[in-house]
Structure 1
Amino acid sequence: MIDLIATFIFFFAVIDPIGTVPVFIAVTQQHDAKTRRRIALLATLASAIILLFFVVAGEFILTAMKIPLPAFQIAGGIVLFLFALSMIFGESKPEQEVKLASSGNETAVFPLAVPSIAGPGAMLAAVLLTENSRYNLWEQAQTVFVMLSVLFVVYILMLTASWVHKFVGDSGASVISRIMGLILASVATSNVLTGIKDYFLL
């Protein structure tokens, strides 16, 4: 049995649903309500397919390349930590991705599904939290359920984006993104330490 709350917080931090709201508004500002709902649905489905691919195939790819999972866990933890630092000290996630949205590539897949929802951190989390050596099939299924529940939260927030944005604002989304970055940095550090311990126990 996995820690459902901890797993939910982990995925919430790496996906950052609140930070997706300004990106969604920037991407869909020229569209009517019906089109915005369709874009929200397509972006959520595309993100789910991408993350499920990493859940199913991520570890097989690593095995085929003969990369030990502890090494991937250490590398993944370092990448997540750097990603967290960029959320804390650099431009926040919504600030970075709103710029992508304004570049003209305004589609449900880019920059909304990737990298706003199913970003590098979420892809790494999907692999790390479903390792066959650490989690049985039932625990992996629970992780997938939690991941999909976070994506559902993203979908609901996109459907109510205008209201959420009025309530939170760009500054609020930036602050929340930085708080999520701090949580993610802690999780990333734990992953690195666990990976080092497991590597020397091989």
Structure 2
Amino acid sequence: MYLPQVLTQKVNISDVTAIWLMAYSALFSIVNPLGASLIFAQTTLGRPKREIIVLARMVGFYSFIILMVSIWLGGWILSFFRITIDALRVSGGLVVASRAWALLLAPEESEARKERQVFDHNAARQESDLGDRAFFPLAMPFTVGPGSIAVAIALSSGRTLGASAASYIIGLSLAVLAIALTVVVLYTYAERIVSSLGRTGARIVSRLAALILLCIGVQILFSGLEGFVFSTLKHLHQIS
């Protein structure tokens, strides 16, 4: 989506709300801030509360920037590589659905992978700068990895709910902002979440979120297939 296109469209509040709910569910499922907060609590164990709060805010800010760049520059990236929207919808839908299926079956494997990313980095650089650690590896790839970026670009590739460009991009932007705030809140109170919810409770929530993500992935996939079919029929009609 391009800025001039967004500025010339009308905004519908009900469309923005529906898009926000869809995008927030998809991003929450793939980012999984609840499960990630359990690992974040382990990596910041023994650190001062003030430092944990600052670190959580920095991770949330960097995550917001990464996802917003993915959404706002998604159309330009597609145009630069000459990738059609339908192709991205199909591939993005497959990525989202496969990722959701893996999370649905074994969310603990995703937790273990993220845990290795963070602890391996910490072992190599115990005295690293706080800002450096906030961006890498805590913001990327721990919180917002390639899967989250792919989902953001796939969501920005087209208006699957039939909304205007302005309503769609505003809904996506608000969803990204909500995800970043969710990350900040959950990371800030990670220790309390660990004591009250535990790993089992977090995995139950992760599986429920993964089911929603699977449905969204299938929706994006079939939206792309529908576009391919429509384009093919239109091309055949022109030939005949």
Query: What TM-score comes out, normalization by structure 2 length?
Result: 0.76
| Consecutive unaligned residues in structure 2, runs of 5 or more | 1-14, 126-132, 232-240
More divergent stretch after superposition (131-140 vs 38-47): 131-140
Deviation for aligned residue 1:193 = 1.0
Aligned to 1:136: 165
Distance 1:150 1:165 in 2: 20
In our comparison, the structure showing a higher alpha carbon Rg is 2
Aligned to 1:35: 51
Aligned to 2:191: 162
Q: Deviations over 1:68-119 (max 9, x none)?
A: 0110111111111221122122334333212222213472223321223222
Structure 1 stretches of at least 4 aligned residues deviating more than 4 Å after TM superposition: 132-135
Find the partner of 2:176 among 125, 147, 151.
147
Letter in 2 for 1:129: L
Letter in 1 for 2:219: S
Distance 1:110 1:89 in 2: 28
Aligned to 1:197: 226
Distance 1:162 1:89 in 2: 26
**1:104 matches 2:121:** yes
| Consecutive unaligned residues in structure 1, runs of 5 or more | none
Q: Deviations over 1:7-59 (max 9, x none)?
A: 32222212222112112112212422121111111111111111111112122
Distance 1:166 1:88 in 2: 24
Find the partner of 2:92 among 67, 76, 87.
76
Quickly say closer, same or farther: Cα 1:18–1:5, change in 2 above 3 A. Answer: same
Aligned to 2:26: 10
**1:93 matches 2:93:** no
How much identity, in percent, do the aligned residues show?
22
Aligned to 2:236: none
Alignment size in residue pairs: 202
Contact map agreement 2:117 2:142 (CA 8 A) in 1: no
Query: What TM-score comes out, normalization by structure 1 length?
Result: 0.90
